[in-house]
C-alpha cells in the first residue's frame, strides 16, 4: 500500500509517517521503481503501535525504547514495566505542575474585579514576577564576577 493508504490504515498522517522515518523511529519502507513508498501490514502495525504510545504521551525516545523492547522477543517484561512506570511518574509530575498553575490562575482571577477599572491583580502579579526575574538575571553576572575574581 502507498503512504496515503498506510496513513489511513494506521491513523498516523502521511506527514508524521515521513517524520518518524526521518528521525529513525520507524524504518523507511522499500520503494517502487518510481520512488513511491510501499508499506506492508507489518509497517502499518508498527505505525499503530507508535500512534498508541504517542496518544499515551510517550516521547519519541521512549517510543524508540518501547519499539526495541517490542521487537526483542527475549526481553524482560520488567524492562517494559520500568519504562512505563517512569513515564507515569513524569505524567504525575506534569499533572501536579498543571494543577498548581490552575490553582494560581484561579486565585488570581478571584482577586480580579473584572470590571471597567484598569487595575488588574493578574497583570500586576505577572509584572511583579517579571521584575524579580529581571533583577535576578541582572545580579547573576555580578555574582559570577565576584565568585571568579581573586584580586
pLDDT tens digits for 63-121? 999 999 999 999 999 999 999 999 999 999 999 999 999 999 999 999 998 889 888 88
Question: Smallest Cα–Cα separation from 16: which of 75, 63, 77?
Answer: 63
Instruction: Name the percent of the chain lying above pLDDT 70.
Output: 89
d(CA 42, CA 63): 17
Mean pLDDT confidence for 55-62: 96
Residue 151 pLDDT exceeds 50: no
Distance from C-alpha of 124 to C-alpha of 79, rounded to nearest angstrom: 49
Instruction: Report the C-alpha gap between 109 and 38 in whole angstroms.
Output: 54
More confident residue, 141 or 1: 1
Instruction: Give, in order, the Cα–Cα distances in Å from 120 to each of 95, 100, 106, 130, 134.
Output: 28, 21, 14, 15, 21
> 37 forms bridges with which residues in the sheet?
31
Beta strands of the chain (E only): which ranges?
Answer: none
Q: Which of 4-13, 115-124, 133-142 has the lowest mean pLDDT?
A: 133-142
Residue 52 CA to residue 44 CA, distance in Å, equals: 12
Q: Which pLDDT does position 148 carry in this prediction?
A: 56
What pairs with residue 31 in β-bridges?
A: 37
Amino acid at each position: 500500500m502507498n503512504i496515503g493508504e498506510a496513513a489511513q490504515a494506521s491513523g498516523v498522517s502521511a506527514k508524521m509517517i515521513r517524520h518518524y522515518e526521518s528521525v529513525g523511529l520507524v524504518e523507511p519502507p522499500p520503494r517502487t521503481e518510481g520512488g513511491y513508498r510501499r508499506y506492508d501490514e507489518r509497517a502499518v502495525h508498527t505505525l499503530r503501535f507508535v500512534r498508541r504510545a504517542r496518544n499515551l504521551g510517550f516521547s519519541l525516545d521512549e517510543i524508540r525504547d518501547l519499539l526495541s523492547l517490542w521487537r526483542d522477543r527475549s526481553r524482560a517484561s520488567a524492562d517494559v514495566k520500568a519504562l512505563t512506570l517512569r513515564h507515569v511518574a513524569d505524567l504525575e509530575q506534569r499533572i501536579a505542575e498543571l494543577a498548581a498553575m490552575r490553582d494560581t490562575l484561579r486565585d488570581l482571577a478571584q482577586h480580579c474585579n473584572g470590571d471597567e477599572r484598569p487595575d488588574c491583580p493578574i497583570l500586576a502579579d505577572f509584572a511583579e514576577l517579571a521584575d524579580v526575574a529581571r533583577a535576578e538575571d541582572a545580579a547573576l553576572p555580578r555574582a559570577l564576577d565576584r565568585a571568579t575574581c581573586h584580586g
